Amino acid sequence: MNLTVPTSNPVSRALAWCLHLLVVGLLALAAARAVADSRPHAPAIAAVAAVCALVYAAGPLLPRFGRSRQAAAWWLASVGAAWLTLLALSADAVWVAFPLYFLQLQLLPRRTGLVAVAATALAAITAFAAHRGAFAPAMALGPALGAAVAVAVVWGYQALYRESEQRRELIDELTATRADLAEAQHTAGVLAERERLAREIHDTLAQGLTSVQLLLRAAERALPDSPQLAARHVEQARQAAADDLAEARRFVAALTPPALDGTTLAGALERLCATASVRHRVTARFHRVGTAVPLPTAHEVALLRVAQSALANAVQHSRGTTVDVTLRYGGDVVSVDVRDDGVGFDPELLPDPGPGSGPGQGSGGGFGLAAMRARVRALDGDVTLTSAPGRGTALAVRLPLPPSAPPPSTPPPSTATSHEARP
């Protein structure tokens, strides 16, 4: 029966039932005392008290009572009229003013409720003084104090309820925001994983399949004049396919690349150059400069993948005869340089990455160079591409050394190691 505070929670329902019991109890008390004391008009007092109780009880049963403030106001006016009639017959009806204060403050707008409470208190004081036959300031103390307490309680409860609703709305908003954030993080994770998969596929399977394709083309050209040479190319293609299969299995399991199993980054790069020299018409040479230091797996994988991609691009697109791969430890960085003596190109004419683009180095851009930069940027490194028509291509990758690794000192050039593998 409260239009301003819902009674759906246990506390509100308990307060509403207490108010109901208080009204009925006070009305029954007024009727019982009149009958017990054989007061004048005792039957009328009991009848009016019963009518007042019935009118009060009928209010919550009205269909529109809980939805219409106007219907609630008419019901409250009916209860007030019955109470005033009872107040004119019995001074004991004064105590019913206290629960009426709560009803008026809850069911009426704030200003109207204050006016109704003041009018009810004045009626109670006036009727009580009339029944006593005289007025004393103490007679006004009870109704006035009850009105003040009712105003403080109802307004305080309404303030607490509004604050509770604001907190509930805030919690709902935070919950929704957390759900949106979780969804956004999930989406970002999916996109990041998709980008990682694209880089891995491009740097491993795609490059390996390109090598297989080149070897099979060479075998096709060798037939039927040079069956032994064709057989050697087919065997190399078979071995490349086996290596790619191992890469794919490790790739699915998200493990370290097979090229790094049981060896160092320098050893993996040296073997990469040797394999490229055996399988393709190019001389790939590996150089190491500086004192090697332990690197995190992520650094080794990134440098190896970039070298694989750059070397594959040089083999496929540069049309050169020599590729130099240099692993350099110096200062507080570790770097890999891949330089070829091919035809080169104009870096300014690189197209945007797209599904139809070729690899990065020497092929007009595409996903390869973008994948390299994304992989290296994730480790706070940088990629530099230098090329010009007729002057070959150089790609340099620099990664900062992790804090735990002491910066190595760069030895003189004479101490650098060089490994060359030729077909």
DSSP notation for 93-132? GGGGHHHHHHHHHHHS-HHHHHHHHHHHHHHHHHHHHHHH
The Cα-based distances of 338 to 79, 166, 224, 263, 384 in angstroms read 95, 62, 36, 21, 11
C-beta separation of 144 from 125 below 8 A: yes
d(CA 273, CA 281): 12
DSSP-assigned beta bridge partners for residue 418 = 287
Our CA angle for 354, 356, 358, nearest 5°, is 90
d(CA 100, CA 46): 19
The tens place of each residue's pLDDT in the chain, 423 residues long, gives 444 444 456 777 777 788 888 888 888 888 888 888 787 888 888 898 898 888 888 876 765 555 677 777 888 888 888 888 888 888 888 888 888 888 888 888 888 888 888 888 888 888 888 888 888 787 788 888 888 888 888 888 788 888 888 898 999 888 888 888 888 887 887 777 677 677 667 666 777 777 788 888 888 888 888 888 888 878 888 887 877 777 777 666 555 566 676 788 999 899 889 988 888 888 999 999 988 888 888 888 889 889 988 888 888 888 889 999 999 998 789 999 999 999 988 888 766 554 434 333 444 344 578 878 888 888 899 999 999 898 899 999 999 987 765 444 444 443 344 444 333
DSSP notation for 125-183? HHHHHHHHTS--HHHHHHHHHHHHHHHHHHHHHHHHHHHHHHHHHHHHHHHHHHHHHHH
Spatial strand order in the sheet of 417-421: 382-387, 393-400, 333-340, 322-330, 283-289, 417-421
d(CA 46, CA 50): 6
Instruction: Give the CA count within 13 Å in the CB-facing half-sphere of 381.
Output: 27
DSSP-assigned beta bridge partners for residue 382 = 398
In what helix (H) or strand (E) does residue 18 lie, and over which residues does it extend?
A: helix 10-36
Radius of gyration of the chain (CA): 46
Largest CA distance in the chain: 138
Q: Would the pTM of this model clear 0.75, i.e. be above it?
A: no
What phi, psi does 63 have (nearest 5°)? Answer: -60, -35
What phi, psi does 410 have (nearest 5°)? Answer: -80, 120
Helices 10-36 and 42-58 meet at what angle, rounded to 10?
170
Using the Cα atoms of residue 252, residue 258, residue 264 and residue 266 in order, give the sign of their dihedral.
negative
